[in-house]
Chain A
Amino acid sequence: MRHLLSTKDLGRDEAIGLLDVAEDMADVATREIKKLPTLRGKTVVNLFFEDSTRTRISFEAAAKRLSADVITFSAKGSSVSKGESLKDTAQTLQAMGADAVVIRHGASGAPRTLAASGWIDAGILNAGDGTHEHPTQALLDAYTIRKRLHGRASRGRDLDGVSVTIVGDILHSRVARSNVWLLDTLGASVTLIAPPTLLPVALDGWPATIGFDLDAALRQQPDVVMMLRIQAERMHAAFFPNSREYSRRWGLDDVRMSMLSPDSIVMHPGPMNRGLEISAAAADSQQSTVREQVANGVSVRMAALYLLLSGERPSVEPAPSDTAWQAQDEMEGR
C-alpha cells in the first residue's frame, strides 16, 4: 500500500488483509511490553489542520507502539497561522525526512492533493478531510463489527449479510462516506437514515438504501446501528428547527433502544452529544461499542502504518538476478 486516502480505493482482499493485520496488532496490547520494533527509525508526522483528540492520540499511540518517531503538528500555533501554504508545509516535512504523513484537513481532497503533488515522497494517510472521507474510522468500525460478530474467529472473515443502519448527519459526515464504501466492499448492506436536509444532493451510485424514518428502520432489526454526531461546527444553515426536534425524530433514545434486538450493536464514532443523537443509557449499554471502537482504533491504525511503511521503498536497489533465489528465500522467511 502506498497511501491510504479513501476506502473506495480498497479492494475486498486488501481490506480483509488490513483487518487481519489489525488482529495481530491487537494482541500486542495484551502483552506486558506493548511495543514492537517494526518501524524503528521511521518518522511519522501528524499533520492536523483541524481539531481532533481521539484520532490524533490514536495515531500517535499506534506509531509509538511500532517504535516510530512521532512529530505532531497542529495548525494552531504553527506557521500555517502565518499564512504558509500546504505546499510549503509539505516541502518542509519532506526536507525533514518524514516517512509517513497523517493528515487531517478541513478541505475535502487535501490528502489526495498531497499524495499526487510530488511535493513529498512520504506515504499519506487520510485522517479526515473536510466532508469527504475518514478511512481509518471506517476500518475500525468494520473491525469492531467483525470482532463482535465472530470474536476470536474473526480472521479472514468479511461482513456478508450484515445489515448496518447509519443515522444522522450524512451530509457532513466523512465517517458515513468511508463506511458506505468499505461496508459495501465487505459485503454488508447499508441503510442511511437522515433528515432530508442532512442528505447529500446526489446519492446516485451510493451502494446504500436511503430512508427518513428511524423507527421504521429499527423495526427491520438491523444488526448494527451507527449514530453520527451532530457537528455543531458545520451547522451553518437551518438544517432542522431545533435540537430537541432532532432528538425526538432521529435520536437513539431509550424507547428506540428497547426496539433493538439484544444481539444488535450500537456504534458512535465519538465525540458523543449525549441526549442529542444518543441517550446516555444507549451510550453506556452492553450493546454500545463506543469504547471498543477507541481501543480498536489503535490496532487498525497500527496495521495501516505497518502496511504503508514496511515493504519495498523505491530507493532500495533491486536485487541482481543471480541473487533472486536468495531474495525469494528471504521472502519466505528463512
Chain B
Amino acid sequence: MARIESSETPSKIVLQQADITRALTRISHEILESNRGTDNLMILGIPTRGVPLAQRIGEIITMIEPDAPAQLVGSLDVTMYRDDLGRNPTRPPSPTHVPRSIDGATVVLVDDVLYSGRTIRAALDALSDLGRPHIVRLAVLVDRGHRQLPIRADFVGKNLPSAARERVNVHLAEIDGDEYVSIESPQTGGAA
C-alpha cells in the first residue's frame, strides 16, 4: 500500500483508481441482478461526490445492458433536509436533477462514504417530497461504520473498519483531479 506522509497526519491509501473502478463495476452488476434488468431503474447521486459515482455506475450499466433507459442518472441534493443545519456553517445547496418522475421507480441512491447515516435519512425525506418510489436502495463506495441511525447499504464498494477519530478521504478524478480513497488518523493516534 502506498503511503502519503504529511507533516501532521499519517494517511494510508486503501483504494487505488483501479480498485474504485472494479468496485463500481461490481456494484453495477449487483444493481442489475437485484433489479433483474433496468426496468424502472433510476440512479441518483448525492452531491458532491455521489454525483460522478452515479454517472459512472450509469455508464457501466448502459454498457452491460444497451437497452437501459436514457434517463437513468440524476442527482439529489439533501442540504435542505439535513438535521444539522443549525450546527455547522451555512452550506450552499447543489442542484437537484431528477431525469423523470420517480413515482413507481426503483431508485438507487449513490454516495461516497456511509458514516452516521444522517445524509441518507435526509435523502429519504427529500425523495418523499419528490414522489413515491416503489423501492429505494443504497449504494456506497465506502462503508466506514459508526452508524447513528438504523440505515444500511445494499451495495458496498468496500467495508472499511475505522475509528471515529480517523478520517476517510475520497478523491475522484472529476472533482479532485486525482483518484484514491485514503484513511487518515490524527497525530495523537500515531502511525497506523
Cα A313 to Cα B88 in complex, Å, equals 9
Cα A17 to Cα B92 in complex, Å, equals 8
Closest to A152 in B: B95
Cα A311 to Cα B93 in complex, Å, equals 13
Cα A333 to Cα B81 in complex, Å, equals 12
Interface: A27 (CB within 8 A): yes
* B-facing residues in A254-313 (Cβ within 8 Å): 306-307, 310-313
B-side interface residues, number (CB < 8 Å): 39
B93/A325 in contact, CB under 8 A: no
Residue from B46, B48, B93, B165 within 8 A of A322 (CB atoms): B165
A333/B48 in contact, CB under 8 A: yes
B80/A329 in contact, CB under 8 A: no
Interface: A20 (CB within 8 A): yes
Cα A313 to Cα B89 in complex, Å, equals 9
Cα A247 to Cα B176 in complex, Å, equals 58
Cα A21 to Cα B78 in complex, Å, equals 13
Interface: A79 (CB within 8 A): no
Interface: A31 (CB within 8 A): yes
| Interface 9-residue window, one of A32-40, A44-52, A140-148 | A32-40
Given A1-B90, A38-B80, A334-B116, also A326-B129 (CB < 8 A) = no
- Smallest beta-carbon distance A6→chain B, Å: 20
A310/B96 in contact, CB under 8 A: no
B89/A331 in contact, CB under 8 A: yes
Cα A328 to Cα B117 in complex, Å, equals 15
Residue from B86, B130, B167 within 8 A of A325 (CB atoms): B167
B86/A313 in contact, CB under 8 A: yes
Determine the chain B residues whose CB is within 8 A of the CB of A331 once the complex forms. Answer: 88-89, 91
Q: Which of B89, B90, B91 has the most CB of A within 10 A?
A: B90
Interface: B113 (CB within 8 A): yes
Cα A114 to Cα B95 in complex, Å, equals 35
Residue from B88, B114, B125, B167 within 8 A of A312 (CB atoms): B88
Cα A327 to Cα B116 in complex, Å, equals 12
Contact with B along A1-30 (1 / 0, CB 8 A): 100000000000000010011011001000
Cα A316 to Cα B167 in complex, Å, equals 24
Determine the chain B residues whose CB is within 8 A of the CB of A307 once the complex forms. Answer: 90
Contact with A along B18-57 (1 / 0, CB 8 A): 0000000000000000000000000000111000000000
Cα A186 to Cα B81 in complex, Å, equals 30
Determine the chain A residues whose CB is within 8 A of the CB of B84 once the complex forms. Answer: 330
Determine the chain A residues whose CB is within 8 A of the CB of B77 once the complex forms. Answer: 24
Closest to B144 in A: A334
Contact with A along B85-124 (1 / 0, CB 8 A): 1111111111110000000000000001111101100000
- Smallest beta-carbon distance A25→chain B, Å: 8
Determine the chain B residues whose CB is within 8 A of the CB of A310 once the complex forms. Answer: 85-86, 90-91
- Smallest beta-carbon distance B47→chain A, Å: 8
Determine the chain B residues whose CB is within 8 A of the CB of A311 once the complex forms. Answer: 85-86, 88-90
Determine the chain A residues whose CB is within 8 A of the CB of B174 once the complex forms. Answer: none
Cα A62 to Cα B125 in complex, Å, equals 20
Residue from A1, A37, A316, A329 within 8 A of B87 (CB atoms): A316
Closest to A20 in B: B92
13 contacts between A and B (CB under 8 A): A1-B90, A17-B92, A21-B92, A27-B95, A311-B85, A312-B89, A325-B165, A330-B116, A331-B91, A333-B46, A333-B47, A334-B116, A334-B119
Question: 6 more A-B contacts (CB under 8 A) besides A326-B164, A334-B115?
Answer: A24-B95, A27-B96, A307-B90, A312-B87, A330-B88, A334-B114
